[in-house]
Structure 1
C-alpha cells in the first residue's frame, strides 16, 4: 500500500476444506426511508401565463417557469444563479461564477498528475422551446490542439425545465472516440454550492438530519489525521464545539442515495434544495458503492456523484486505452425546490415532501421528455424476470427462495465483477420474499446476470450472458444459486450481510464529542474509532473463543494496527480458539492464515494486497467484497484445542485495516473448495 493512502477496507471470507471460514462484507444504510405526506404548495401565483420562458443573451441564458429561474453562462453552461419563488440567488455569491454550480471530471494521463475539467461548453444550442418545455445544450468537442487543457471527451450538457415543475433537470452525454489519447477518469460529478449564510440544516435520511457547521468553523478548527476531518474548536454555533466535521460522515450506498439536500432553516419561510437521483443505472460500482452526498465545503455543498474511487480504490476509475470507443449518458437528475411557513420548527415537512417528490421521479423513470437520442425511452428498452432460488445442501436438501436477493444486470464479467465495473450501465432490483424479480427498463445490450443474497456468502452469476433488445421481455428459468459450501458448519462468527456492522463498535475518544443526528444512527459513523483498539488492547491482541465469546461484544469491527510511538505502528495478530473432536487427519479443512503455529515463516494463506479504499478512515462499514476459501489438511489440526492466527501484516500507518464480514469453519469434506 502506497504512502498517503488513508485506510483500507476489506471484506474477507476464508474457507477450510472440510472446515470453512468465511468473511464477506457490505453496508445497509437507509438514506431515504419513505414516510410522510407530500407538501401542499400554492404555486399558481408564480406561474407565467405563457409557460416556460427562455431569455438568451450574449454571455448568459436564463430559463424561467415562474417558480424557478436558472441562469447559465453562455456558452460555458455554468450555473451562476438560481431563484425560487422570487428569492435571492440561492447559490454562494461570494464564490466566482465558475464556482457555484457545475459538472466536473478529475482525469489524468496514465502515470500523470490529476487534472480538473469543468466540462465548459464552447457552443450553445436550443433543443426545444415551447410553453411546456425548454431543453438547451452546451457542447464541446475535443481537439488534439487543446492538449492537457481538457479531458479527451466530447461533451453535451443538457438542462431541461418543464412547465409547473418546481425544479430543473440536468444530464450529460460523454463520448471519447477511438484513437484518442489513453487517459483515466477518477471522478465525475455535479456540484452545487449554496449560500453558506442561508443553508444550515442538512438532511439525507429520516435519521441523518442535523444543523451543520459553517465553512468558517472548519477554517478555525484543528485538522486531524487527514485534511477532510476537522475538530471544531470555536464554531459559530457553540453546541457543535468538540465535534468533528468531515464530508465522509455523510456518505451513503448508491442503492439508498436517492434524495439529499439543504434547508434554509432560519428564513421566515424556509426553502429546501434537494438533489434527486431517480435511477442508479448510470452510476459506477453497483448498488453497494458508497459515495458523498451533501456536506460543508466552500458553501453548503450538494453533490450528485456519478464516478468516483471513494470506498473502492483505483479499481473504480475509468481507464481508457487509445483504441477504445466509449459513450455514456449520465442522468438526468432533478434539482427540486420546496418551502413551508412552518419549516423552521418542523424541517421534516420539507424533508418528507422531498421524499414524496423522489418517489414521483423514480416511478417516472425513464423520463419521456429528454430529447437526446442517446437517452433511451421506455419503449426502446427491455426487461428480464425470474425467480432466484438458493440451494445450500447443509441448510436444506431442496432449494429455498432467494428472499430479498439483490439481482442485477451489468456488463459481462466474472462473478462479483459488477462492483468494480464503471464504463457501462447496471440495472438492479431487490427480489420479493419468494425470490421473484423483475428488472425492467434495461438499455439494449449484452449483460451478465448477477445476484447476492443477504445471509448467504458468495456471488451468483448466470451461466449464459443475456442480450436485451428493444421491447424484449425475457423470462428466466432455473435461476439457482449454489453458494460456496465444502462441509457442515462447525462454527461461525458474524452475519453474512456484507457489512461489519454487527461487530463491536466502540464510542469515540472521550476527547471528541459524539457526532449528533436527529435520531440515533449507525454507531460506526464517528471519527477516530480505529484508534480505540489500542485503548481496548493496549498490549495483547484480540482473542476470540468459540462457544464463549460473543461477536457483538468481543470482535472489534476492524482489524487495525496498533500505535506504539510517534508515527510508528505495529501489526496485530488476532486469535480464534476452538476445540475439535475426532479430527480426520486425511481429510481437508478450510480457513485462513496460520493454524496452531503463530511463528510459521510462511503462513498457510495470504490474501495479498487488496482494498486500498480508505473505508475505515472514512467512517464506512464496508468496502469492496472479497471471498476466500482456504483448504486445510487435517494434519494441520489436532484433537482438542486449536488456534487460528489472523495477522494484518501491513503496519505503515494508522489506516492499514481489514473488516471481516463473516467467518465460517466447516467440517471435513471429500475435496477442497475452489
Structure 2
C-alpha cells in the first residue's frame, strides 16, 4: 500500500476508510464504528460485542416538562450516508438522520449529522457531529450525549488519564454477580472474587476516574500485549456543558473510553438542556481525535511510554485548534473567529489598599446570563482562559456571537460578570482594558474557615474504610476519590457532631470535608448540626455582621443557620432545598458553586463565647449533604 494514498471502500453494509497506518470500518448507513485495524491487531474494538455496541454516538432524551436526568436511551443510528470529502489528503464521511413529525415521541426532535475524518498521514481519526433543531419543532430535554468506544477486554488492561492516575485495571467480568458485590449505588462494586486475585477487596467505580474538563485532555488504554495505545484527545472544551471546571467521566472498566459532551454529572438536573416548543438550535460537538500509537518500531520500548507520546500528541492537537480541515460550514476556522484580551484586578480593601492582580483567575466567555450562570450553561459555547501573574488574559478563537465575560479568582469569594455584552465578529480583537472585580464584603474578617477555591479539598478527608479501597488513591493527593467516605463522618463523630473552635481548631484536620447525615439504623438517617465557637471581645451595638457561606457542592441539602440558640425557630437563615450534583457519592470534591451572604444583627451576639450552628436538615439518604468551600464572619 502506498504511504501517501488514502483509500475509501463503499460496500453494501459497510464503509471502510484507510491510510497506511489505520483502517476504520463503519456500518452503512448507521455510522457505527464496527472495526479499527491498527498495527498487528485486526480490530481494537470488542468483537464479542454486537457490532452496534463497539464505537458509537449516543444520547439520552426526555419529553418536555420531564424532571430528573434520565430518559430514553438512543444509540444514534443514521439513515443517510454521504461522502463529503474524498481527496489525496482527506476523507470525510457523513452519517445523518432527519427528524419529522412522524417520529414524534420516538426520537429526539433533532437533525443529527455524524462526521468521521481520516487524514492521509494520521495515526488515528476524528469525529464530530452537528445537532440541529428547526423552528416549530416540539420541546424536549437533552440529558446526555457522548461518543463511546468499547475495546478488546483481553488486550486493553492498562488505563491512563493523568501521570498520577493510571493503573492496571480489573476486567468487566469481575463486576458480575458472584465475582462482584453491588454497593450503595449500582456503579460501585466490591470485587470479592476477581479473575486476577490482585484486585480482591478493591472497589471498582467509574466515577473514581472522573476528571475536570480543563485537566483531562487525553485519556485511554494500553495493550501491554504488543504495545498498542488507544487514546481519546479533546483539543477544546468549547462545546461541552458547564465550563472548564465541570467534571465528567473519562475511561473506565469495560475497557471503555468516553468523550462526554452533555451530561448532568456533578451538576444534576440544572445541567440538562431543556428546549421549549418551537425553539431553534444548532451546535457542533467535537471534533475529538482518536489517536493510536504503538511500540512496534522499537520492540524493547516500555509500553508505558505510549502514555508519554499520547500526552505530546494532545499538546500538538491543542496547538492546532481550531482544526482547518472539517468540511462543515457549522465549524468555523480560526480566521472566522474573534479574540478578547484584558487585565483582571480584584478590589478588596480589607485585603489590600491596592488592587490585587488576578493571578491565576479564571476568565471566560459564555452566553449572556447571571453571575455564575455559565456553570449550568450547555446550549451555547464557552471559552475559558487563566490570567497570568500580572492578571493579563487572552481568550482566542472565539466563535462569533453574543457573550458575557465571566471570571472568578481563587482566594476570593463569588464571581464576576462584566456589565456589557460582547459581540464577537470574525477576526475581531477586543481589548477589555482593566476589569475590576469587587467581591462581596461589608467589614473586616473576624475569622475564616478554609480557602475560597470552589472546592472542599483543603478540609479533612478521612482514610477510607479498609474494606472499600481503590489502591490507586492510597497516598494520593485526591484522597476524596475513595468509596464510602460519607460513612466515615458517623464513625468519626459517633456520639456528637463536629465542633470547631476558632483559634484552636485547624480546618485541615478538624473540619470534615462533607456535611452529611448520620446513620441511625440500616434504613434511616438523621440531620447533623455543626458548631462554630468563637470569642468576641466586644459587640458592635446596632451593627450588622455578615456570614459568608461559600458552598462547593450541594446534594438535596438544606442548610440552616442559627446563632447562640440551637433551637431558634425559625432559623436565622435557610438555603431551602438546594443542589442535585451528587458529588459526595461520586467522589468529586466539588459540584455547583453557591454563595450565601447571611446578615446577622449585632443583637444576636454576646461579649464572650458565641456559637453559630450549621444544620444540614435533609436526611433521608447518606448522599445528601454539603461540601463547604469557605466560611467567613465579617464585623460591621
TM-score range, shorter chain: over 0.9
- Of 385, 388, 396 in structure 2, the residue corresponding to residue 432 of structure 1 is 388
Q: Which runs of 5+ in 2 are unaligned?
A: 550-560
Query: 1:169-180 counterparts in 2 under 5 A?
Result: 169-180=126-137
- Deviation digits for residues 236-266 of structure 1, max 9, x if unmatched? 121111000000000001111210000012x
What corresponds to 2:555 in structure 1? Answer: none
Report if the CA contact (8 A) 1:508-1:529 is conserved: yes
Larger strand percent? 2
2:114 to 143, 146, 157: 157
Task: Give the CA deviation at 1:345.
Answer: 7.9
Give the aligned partner of residue 3 of structure 1: none
Counterpart in 2 of 1:73? 27
Correspondence 1:460 to 2:416: yes
Give how far 1:88 is off: 2.1
Which of 569, 572, 591 is the aligned partner of 1:601? 569
Mapped partners of 1:359, 1:519: distance in 2: 29
What's 2:72 paired with? Answer: 115
* Other-structure match for 1:310: 265
Aligned counterpart for 2:101 among listed residues 120, 144, 150 = 144
Cα contact 2:204–2:470 (8 A) shared by 1? no
Indicate the SS of the match to 1:336: strand
Write out per-residue CA displacement over residues 462-499 of structure 1, whole angstroms, 9 at most, x where no aligned residue: 11111100010000123111111110011110111111
- 1:557 partnered with 2:513: yes
- Contact 1:142-1:152 within 8 A present in 2 as well: yes
SS in 1 for 2:270: helix
Is 1:323 aligned to residue 282 of structure 2?
no
Q: Gaps (5+ residues) in structure 1?
A: 1-46, 669-674
- 1:323 Cα offset (Å): 2.0
CA shift for structure 1 position 622: 0.3
Alignment partner, residue 672 of structure 1: none
Say which structure, 1 or 2, has more relative contact order (CA 8 Å, 6+ apart): 1
Match of 1:639 in 2: 607
CA distance in 1, matches of 2:244, 2:216: 9
- Number of the residue aligned with 2:459: 503
The one-character-per-residue Cα deviations of 1:477-526 (angstroms, maximum 9, x if unpaired) are 23111111110011110111111011111111122234325973410010
Deviations along 1:560-605, whole A, 9 cap, x unmatched?
A: 1000111010000000000001201200011271000000121100
Shift of 1:224: 0.2
**Structure 1 match to 2:189:** 230
Tell me whether 1:545 sits opposite 2:501 in the alignment: yes
1:422 aligns with 2:378: yes
Among 60, 71, 76, the residue aligned to 1:106: 60
| Matching residue of 2:595 | 627
Sort the Cα spacing of 1:457 and 1:344 in 2 relative to 1 into closer, same or farther, 3 A: farther
TM-score (normalised: structure 1): 0.90
Q: Distance between the aligned counterparts of 2:303 and 2:448, measured in 1?
A: 44
- Report SS of the residue matched to 2:208: helix
Contact kept in structure 2, 1:228 and 1:247, CA below 8 Å: yes
1:285 aligns with 2:242: yes
TM-score (norm 2): 0.95
What residue in structure 1 maps to residue 293 of structure 2? 338
Contact 1:208 1:521 in 2 (8 A): no
Equivalent residue, structure 1, for 2:581: 613
Residue 150 of structure 2 aligns with which residue? 193
Aligned to 2:8: 54
Q: SS in structure 1 opposite 2:136?
A: coil
Please tell me whether residue 241 in structure 1 is matched to residue 197 in structure 2. no
Question: Shift of the alpha carbon at 1:48?
Answer: 2.4
Provide the rounded CA distance (Å) in 1 between the counterparts of 2:300 and 2:459.
38
* Deviation of the 1:111 alpha carbon: 4.7
CA contact (8 A) 1:585 1:633 kept: no
> Residues 15-34 of structure 1 correspond to what in structure 2 (within 5 A)?
none
* Other structure's SS at 2:214 match: helix
What does residue 37 of structure 2 align with? Answer: 83
How big is each residue's C-alpha offset from its partner over 1:81-136, in whole Å with a ceiling of 9 and x where there is no partner? 00112412110111101100100110000355711122211111111111111001
Q: Is the 8 A contact 1:66 1:85 kept in 2?
A: no
Counterpart selection for 1:399 from 346, 355, 364:
355
CA contact (8 A) 1:70 1:79 kept: yes
Aligned match for 1:587, one of 532, 537, 543: 543
Deviations 1:271-327 (A, max 9, x none): 00000000000000001111000001xx31100000000010100000000121000
Retained in 2: the 8 A contact 1:168–1:336? yes
Residues 343 and 184 of structure 1: is their aligned pair in 2 closer, same or farther, counting only changes over 3 Å?
Answer: farther
Q: CA RMSD in A?
A: 1.4
Q: CA deviation at 1:168?
A: 0.2
User: 1:48-84: CA deviations, max 9, x gaps?
Assistant: 2451110001110001012110000111100000011
